[in-house]
Structure 1
Amino acid sequence: VFQLVVSDGVLSSDPARVTVHAAQGGGGCTSAADLGSILPTLALLAFTLRRRRPSH
């Protein structure tokens, strides 16, 4: 399970930057399958934020 944590401070400095926290119940490393499922979501979120907030 992944949680996207986006703070106003981070958005004000870089609209495309988000922090991803992996909530792992059993511990261990993040698998390639997890990265493959979250990366497209991050890309879409970054694209949306970049369009919504014009860069200076």
Structure 2
Amino acid sequence: MINDFRFLENEEAGQGMVEYSLILALIVVVCIVAITFFGEGALGLYNNAINNIPG
């Protein structure tokens, strides 16, 4: 029975991977929200700058 729970000794590596995955997922969500929120304004700024370049 004790051997059945030996796998719990190595769970720390898996825990670290899950934590990094959650942080990465949070960063992706924040980037998507920022692009969605600021995307239209940034596109307008770029178009305005391009249209005002002489030539």
TM-based fold match above 0.5: no
Give 1 or 2 for the bigger CA radius of gyration.
Answer: 2
Instruction: Give the TM-score taking structure 1 as reference length.
Output: 0.39
Instruction: Give the TM-score taking structure 2 as reference length.
Output: 0.39
Higher helix share: 2
Higher strand share: 1
- Using CA pairs under 8 Å that are at least 6 residues apart, name the structure with larger relative contact order, 1 or 2: 1
